[in-house]
Amino acid sequence: MALPKKVVGACLACLWLTFFWVIDDRESQGHSGAVYSRGVESCRVCHQAIFDTFIQTAHFKTSARAGDSSITAEGKGKFSDGRNVLRTRTAEVYFKMERRGADYYQTAIEAAVDASKNRSRTERFDIVIGSGRKGQSYLYWKTGLLFQLPVSYLVGIEEWINSPGYVDGQINFERVIQPRCLECHSASFKLEMAGGRPQYSSDYELGVTCAKCHGEGEQHVAYQSAHPTEKEGKHILNPARFPRDRQLDNCALCHSGAWDPKKPPFSYQPGQRLDEYAPSGAGEADPAADVHGNQIALLRQSKCFRASPAMSCSTCHDVHQRERDLVQLAQKCLSCHQTGQCKVAAKLGPRMMNYCVDCHMPNRKSNLIRINAPVKQFAPEYRSHAIGVYRQVAEATLQTIQGKRD
C-alpha cells in the first residue's frame, strides 16, 4: 500500500510536529505494558480518601494502557459490527477497528476490484490518550517510539473519526509523538539513545499523577514513614502555598497553548517560574487564545481574574475531584457575586444556578482542532475560560427556557 509522504502532524495537545525519521519494525520488547502510577500508590497509604477521588479524574485518566477499562468502558469506542468502520471520501479506503482476544487493533484497508489484491496495514492499540469525556486517540509502539493511529473516537457523536489534523481518505501511520506532547498526557516518558537511535525508556508512567503538582515524593514518603506522628508534611510541595503566579504556572505548563520548551520536556518542577522553561508570553492574556489547551490566557483576560488578586485555577477547581456538576461549580461564583446582580435572574427563575457557567463561560469551537470527515470539516467545542458577559448566549438561553415553558 502506498502511504502518503511524511507530513506535518499534530501532537495530541495540538502541538504541530514534523515527522523526522523513518522506522520500519515494530517494537516487541520492553513496552508491552504500562507502568501503573507508582507515585500515586505510595501516596495512597496516607491519603486514601484523596486517592479514591483523584483516580476518577480526567487528569489521572489522560493516558492509560489500552484495554477494556480504558477503551470500551463508560460508552467509549464501539467495536461491534456495523459500528467499527470509518469510511472515507476515497471509496476504496476505509478503517476497521477490532477486538482480538484481550487486544484491540486498527486496520487501514485499500480495496481493489479484485478483493484478493486488497492492501492493508494493522497496528495494535497500545496506549490510550484522553479520559474519554470528549474523545480518545490511540498510540502504538514501533522501535521504541510512539506513533498515533489515524483513527480516533469522538464521544459526543459516538463515532470513529479521522484523528485531528489527518487528511480524510489518506492512510498515515507515521505521526510520531514527541516528548512535549507526552509531558501533558503522562507523568514520565524518558527519551534515551539506544543503538544510535532515540527511543522511550520502558520505565514510563501513564496518567497525570501527584508528582506533577507536588514534586517527587520519595524523600517525603521516607521521612513520614520514619516519623508517623509528624503531622506537617515534610519534603513535599503544596501548591496552595505558592504565590498566585506560581500556582498559575503549574497549570500553565499544560494549559497555556502550544509552544516549544526551552529546556528538555519533563524538566519543569512545580513552583518554578514557567518563563524559565517556556518561551516568553506563554500563558499571558491573549484575546486570540484558543479554547482548547489555553485556559490560562483566557482566564487572565477576564475581569473576574483582573479584579481578584488571589484568584487562581484552584479558586474554582479541585484537581483531586471529578468535576462535572455545573451547579456546584457555579456556587464558587457566589463567593464574590450575588444572584440579585444578574439582570436576567427573574427570567431564569429558581433554577438560575443551572445556567451561570453556560452563560458566562460558554462552550466555543476550537480554532486549532479540525476533524476532516468525508463530507465536511468540523471542530469540537470546549468551555471558554474567558469569564464574561455573552449577551447572545444569554438571549439564546432565555429563548430555550421560554420554549420549554411554552
**Portion of the chain with pLDDT greater than 70, in percent:** 90
- What is the reported pLDDT for 86? 96
CA distances from 122 to 26, 143, 384 (A): 11, 16, 38
- What is the reported pLDDT for 405? 67
- What is the reported pLDDT for 406? 63
| Residue range 24-42, pLDDT digits in tens | 333 333 344 434 456 688 9
Q: Is the pLDDT of residue 2 over 60?
A: no
Q: Is the pLDDT of residue 237 over 90?
A: yes
pLDDT band at 74 (very low <50, low <70, confident <90, very high): confident
The contacts of residue 45 (CB under 8 Å, 6+ apart) are none
| Residue range 249-299, pLDDT digits in tens | 999 999 999 999 999 999 999 999 999 999 999 999 998 899 998 999 999
- What cell does 367 get? 480554532
- What is the reported pLDDT for 31? 46
- What is the reported pLDDT for 9? 38
Question: Which of 255, 252, 285 is closest to 271 using CA atoms?
Answer: 252
Average of per-residue pLDDT across 122-145: 96
- What is the reported pLDDT for 73? 85
Place of cell 459500528: 83
CB 253 within 8 A of CB 274: yes
CA distances from 63 to 31, 130, 247, 324 (A): 15, 6, 24, 19
Q: Which phi and psi angles does 313 have, rounded to 5°?
A: -60, -40
The contacts of residue 134 (CB under 8 Å, 6+ apart) are 154, 155, 156, 380, 382
Average of per-residue pLDDT across 120-142: 96
Across the chain, mean pLDDT equals 88
Exposure letters 135-172 (e unless 16+ CB within 10 A, then b):
bbbbbbbbbbbbbbbbbbbbbeeeebbbbbbbebbbbb
pTM of the model: 0.87
Average of per-residue pLDDT across 311-316: 96
Residue 112: count other Cβ atoms within 10 Å of its Cβ.
11
Q: Which residue has the higher pLDDT, 45 or 22?
A: 45
Q: Which segment of 19-28, 151-160, 161-170, 386-395 scores lowest on mean pLDDT? A: 19-28
